[in-house]
Structure 1
Amino acid sequence: FGPACAAHRSAAQAPAPTAHVVCIDRVVAALARAVAARADRLGRERAERRYRDLFQNLPIGLFQRASDGAFLDANAAMAEILGLPSREALIERRVQDFYLDPADRDRFEADLARDGVVMDRKLRLRRADGRPTWVLVSARAVRDEAGRLLYVEGATRSIDARVEAEAARDKSEARYRTLAEATREALLIHDGERMFDANRAAETLFGLSREALLATRPLDLVHPEDRETVAARIRAGFWGEHEARYVRSDGTTFWASLRVDPVEWEGRPARMTLMQDVTPYREAAEAARAAERRLSNLMEAVPVGLVLLDSAGGVLAANGAGRELLAALGADPGRRVAALAGRPLVDLLTPGGEETELRTPGGDRRVMVSSHPIESSSQGVLWALVLRDVTEEWLLREQAAQQDRLASVGQLAAGIAHDFNNLLLAITGYAELARLDPGVSPKVQKRLEDLVKAAFRAAELVRQMLDFSRGTGGERAPLNLVPVVKETAKMLDRTFPDEIRVEARVEAAEAVVVGSALEIEQVLMNLAVNARDAMPEGGTLTLGLRTRRAGDGPGWAEIEVADTGTGIPEEIRAKVFDPFFTTKPPGKGTGLGLHQVACIVDRHGGLVELESEPGRGTTVRMLLPLRPPRDKGERPKGPDLVPRGRGERVLVVDDDPAVREITAALVESLGYETELAADGAEALERVGAGGVDLVLSDVSMPRMNGPALVAALGERGLRVPVVFLSGYDAPEDLDPGIPYLRKPPTRLALARTLARAIRGEPPLSNPGSEGEGAV
Structure 2
Amino acid sequence: MHDLSDSKRAEAEIERQREALVQSEKLAALGSLLAGVAHELNNPLSVVVGQSVLLEETAPDEATEIRARKIHRAADRCARIVRTFLSLARRSPPERQQVDLNEIVQAAVELVTYSLHADGVELTMDLPREPALLWGDADQLNQVVTNLVVNARQALQTAPRPRRLAIAVRLDRDDPEAPTIRLSVADNGPGVPAEIRTRIFDPFFTTKPAGIGTGVGLSMCHNIIDSHGGTVELDETPGGGATFVVTLAAHRSATVGFAAPAGELPAAMTPLRLLIVDDDPEIALTVAEMLAPDGHDIAIAENGAAALARLDEEPCDLVISDIRMPELDGPGLYRQLAIRHPRLLNRICFVTGDTLSEGVRDFLNETGVPVLEKPYEPADLRAMVARLVGKLGESQ
Give the alignment's TM-score, normalised by structure 1: 0.43
- 1:556 matched to 2:180? The reply is yes
Asked whether the equivalents of residues 684 and 709 of structure 1 are also in contact (C-alpha less than 8 Å), the reply is: yes
Q: Which has the higher helix share?
A: 2
Match of 1:743 in 2: 374
1:545-586 alpha-carbon deviations (Å, 9 max, x no partner): 142343324533333333333444434433333344444556
Match of 1:648 in 2: 272
- 1:462 matched to 2:92? The reply is no
Match of 2:233, SS?
A: strand
CA distance in 1, matches of 2:249, 2:391: 41
Matches within 5 A, 1:407-556: 407-437=28-58, 439-441=60-62, 445=65, 448=68, 451-452=71-72, 455-471=75-91, 475-485=95-105, 494-496=114-116, 500-506=120-126, 508-510=128-130, 511-515=132-136, 516=138, 517-533=141-157, 535=159, 537-547=160-170, 548-556=172-180
Distance verdict in 2 for CA 1:597–1:538, change over 3 Å: farther
CA distance in 2, matches of 1:438, 1:544: 39
Match of 2:362 in 1: 732
- 1:565 matched to 2:176? The reply is no
Match of 2:25 in 1: 404
Match of 1:299 in 2: none
| Unaligned segments of structure 2, at least 5 residues | none
Residue from 690, 708, 713 that aligns with 2:314? 690
CA distance in 1, matches of 2:19, 2:245: 28
Per-residue deviation, 1:475: 4.4
Match of 2:316, SS?
A: coil
Asked whether the equivalents of residues 407 and 470 of structure 1 are also in contact (C-alpha less than 8 Å), the reply is: no
1:171-217 alpha-carbon deviations (Å, 9 max, x no partner): xxxxxxxxxxxxxxxxxxxxxxxxxxxxxxxxxxxxxxxxxxxxxxx
Residue range with higher mean Cα deviation, 501-510 or 627-636: 627-636
CA distance in 1, matches of 2:363, 2:119: 52
CA distance in 2, matches of 1:499, 1:743: 32
- 1:607 matched to 2:232? The reply is yes
Match of 1:761, SS?
A: helix
Q: Which amino acid aligns with 1:524?
A: L
Distance verdict in 2 for CA 1:401–1:475, change over 3 Å: farther
Matches within 5 A, 1:298-447: 308=1, 318=3, 386-389=7-10, 393-437=14-58, 439-441=60-62, 445=65
Matches within 5 A, 1:559-638: 559-584=183-208, 589-604=213-228, 605-611=230-236, 616-629=240-253
Match of 1:629, SS?
A: helix
CA distance in 2, matches of 1:402, 1:601: 21
Tell me which of the two structures has the higher relative contact order, counting C-alpha pairs closer than 8 angstroms and 6 or more residues apart.
2
Match of 1:700, SS?
A: coil
Matches within 5 A, 1:149-228: none
Match of 2:326 in 1: 702
Q: Which has the higher strand share?
A: 1
Asked whether the equivalents of residues 183 and 246 of structure 2 are also in contact (C-alpha less than 8 Å), the reply is: yes
CA distance in 1, matches of 2:339, 2:107: 52
Distance verdict in 2 for CA 1:417–1:635, change over 3 Å: closer
CA distance in 2, matches of 1:397, 1:739: 41
Let me know the Cα RMSD of the aligned residues: 3.8
Per-residue deviation, 1:732: 1.9
CA distance in 2, matches of 1:461, 1:618: 26
| Unaligned segments of structure 1, at least 5 residues | 1-307, 310-317, 326-368, 370-385, 764-775
1:667-696 alpha-carbon deviations (Å, 9 max, x no partner): 222210112221222222221222533332
Distance verdict in 2 for CA 1:667–1:496, change over 3 Å: closer
Distance verdict in 2 for CA 1:664–1:630, change over 3 Å: same
Number of equivalences: 381
Distance verdict in 2 for CA 1:439–1:410, change over 3 Å: same
Distance verdict in 2 for CA 1:662–1:740, change over 3 Å: same
Per-residue deviation, 1:397: 3.5
Match of 2:179, SS?
A: strand
Match of 1:732, SS?
A: helix
CA distance in 1, matches of 2:338, 2:118: 63
Per-residue deviation, 1:424: 1.9
Match of 2:181, SS?
A: strand
Per-residue deviation, 1:417: 1.9
Asked whether the equivalents of residues 417 and 728 of structure 1 are also in contact (C-alpha less than 8 Å), the reply is: yes
